[in-house]
């Protein structure tokens, strides 16, 4: 493979989340041609480079690294091509890199990103839940109250919710979903791209029963389908509301108020309000 001459800057490179065959050809080219690789863990990235037969200087980097470490990398990328990888998947997605990218952009350094594996996208394409709108929530908090609060904040979002999760916490998170997101379709996508890949769907209660009996190993993405459409208001309730409103409002006002409360058509409600007004006795 020809090694391209790279301009100086920051190259964000996605790496496999399990199956080494998922490394793109362009990722290999850029890893071969760069000057330095910034990574979370030099042992993990070292294994990938060994597998590829690539030898490059590596610098440990995460967003909690001191200013010095970041400054050194920023100075390097002014002169040379610097690659940023994480242990697995797409850097910056629940992984380090955000501060480095912000700072590089602020300084006018060339920044480019090579697409590749990302567990949330793999899970979303696999789970059979709606993909037209989704919201990624990172890792849910580990404490019960905070976890419930986050799910409560997201409960009204009309989108598939996607979270990263770990085996030991899965059942706790499913229990919180059963409580805060009742009736949703849930998916657990586990060990994606690996030998024991699985994607199990069901209600939170069904999945709690399964994973209590078979404690899950490995890496997990947890998804919850969007809330269903709000149930149509009960006709008898609407009639009661309209009659109560008519007790001290004009028909047009009463129809407007009930339309707002129920989402029903104002004109239809007005017609019914007029009928009630003209009832004998
Ligand atoms: N940046 C990575 C990405 O692009 O997916 C995510 C890094 S985050 C620190 C690690 C979490 O991603 C894991 O705890 C798990 O929730 C999810 N994950 C990573 N690889 C996975 C896989 N092969 N199968 C399922 N989930 C995975």
**Structural domain boundaries in the chain:** 9-116, 120-224, 235-277
- Asked whether the predicted pLDDT for residue 167 surpasses 60, the reply is yes
Closest alpha carbon to 180 in 143, 209, 206, 154 = 154
Q: What is the CATH number of domain 9-116?
A: 3.40.1010.10
Confidence of residue 230 (pLDDT cuts 50, 70, 90): low
Burial class (CB in 10 A: 0-12, 13-18, 19+), 59: middle
- pLDDT, position 232: 65
Query: Per residue in 66-96, pLDDT tens?
Result: 889 999 999 999 999 999 999 999 999 999 9
Copy the structure tokens of residue 18: 């399990």
Closest alpha carbon to 186 in 165, 217, 168, 215 = 165
Cα(233) to ligand 1 centroid in Å equals: 42
Give dist(CA 43, CA 60) in Å, integer. Answer: 10
Give dist(CA 218, CA 137) in Å, integer. Answer: 20
Cα(14) to ligand 1 centroid in Å equals: 12
Asked if 151 contacts 144 with a C-beta cutoff of 8 angstroms, the reply is no
Measured N-to-C along each axis, helices 25-33 and 42-52 cross at an angle, to the nearest 10 degrees, of 110
Kindly write down the DSSP assignment for every residue of 71-109, as one continuous string: HHHHHHHHHSEEEE--SSBSTTSSSS-HHHHHHHHHTT-
What is the number of helices (H) and of strands (E) in the chain? Answer: 11, 10
Give dist(CA 71, CA 58) in Å, integer. Answer: 15
Instruction: Estimate the share of the chain in helix, then strand, then coil, as percent rounded to the nearest 5.
Output: 45, 20, 40
- Asked whether the predicted pLDDT for residue 231 surpasses 70, the reply is no
Cα(186) to ligand 1 centroid in Å equals: 18
SS3 call for 260: helix
Give dist(CA 205, CA 202) in Å, integer. Answer: 8
The mean pLDDT of 12-26, rounded to a whole number, is 97
- Asked whether the predicted pLDDT for residue 1 surpasses 60, the reply is no
Confidence of residue 50 (pLDDT cuts 50, 70, 90): very high
Pocket test for ligand 1, best of 13, 124, 219 (most atoms within 8 A of CB): 219
Q: Which residues line ligand 1 (CB under 6 A)?
A: 17-18, 86, 88-90, 93-95, 118-120, 164-166, 189-194, 219-221
91: left (phi over 0), alpha (psi -120 to 50) or beta: beta
* Nearest residue by C-alpha to atom 13 in ligand 1: 219
Give dist(CA 81, CA 33) in Å, integer. Answer: 8
DSSP structural state of residue 15: B
CATH superfamily, domain at 120-224 = Tetrapyrrole methylase, C-terminal domain (3.30.950.10)
SS3 call for 64: coil
């Amino acid at each position: 493979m020809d090694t391209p001459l790279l301009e100086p800057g920051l190259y964000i490179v996605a790496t496999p989340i399990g199956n080494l065959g998922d490394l793109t050809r362009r990722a290999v080219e850029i890893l071969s041609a760069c000057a330095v690789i910034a990574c979370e863990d030099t042992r993990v990235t070292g294994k990938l480079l060994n597998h590829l037969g690539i030898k490059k200087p590596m610098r440990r980097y995460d967003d909690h690294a001191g200013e010095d470490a970041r400054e050194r990398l920023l100075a390097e990328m002014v002169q040379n091509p610097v690659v940023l990888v994480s242990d697995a998947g797409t850097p910056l997605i629940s992984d380090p890199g955000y501060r480095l990218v912000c700072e590089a952009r602020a300084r006018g350094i060339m920044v480019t990103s090579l697409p590749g594996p990302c567990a949330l996208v793999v899970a979303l394409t696999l789970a059979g839940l709606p993909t037209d709108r989704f919201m990624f929530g990172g890792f849910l908090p580990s404490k019960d109250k905070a976890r419930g609060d986050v799910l409560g904040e997201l409960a009204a979002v009309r989108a598939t919710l996607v979270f990263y999760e770990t085996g030991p916490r899965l059942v706790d998170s499913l229990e919180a979903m059963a409580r805060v997101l009742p009736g949703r379709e849930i998916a657990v996508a586990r060990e994606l791209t690996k030998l024991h890949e699985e994607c199990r769907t069901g209600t939170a209660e069904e999945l709690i029963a399964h994973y209590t009996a078979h404690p899950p190993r490995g890496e997990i993405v947890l998804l919850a389908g969007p809330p269903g459409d709000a149930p149509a208001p009960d006709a008898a309730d609407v009639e009661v509301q309209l009659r109560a409103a008519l007790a001290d409002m004009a028909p047009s006002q009463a129809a407007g108020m009930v339309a707002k409360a129920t989402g029903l058509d104002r004109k239809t409600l007005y017609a019914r309000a007029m009928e009630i007004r003209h009832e004998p006795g």
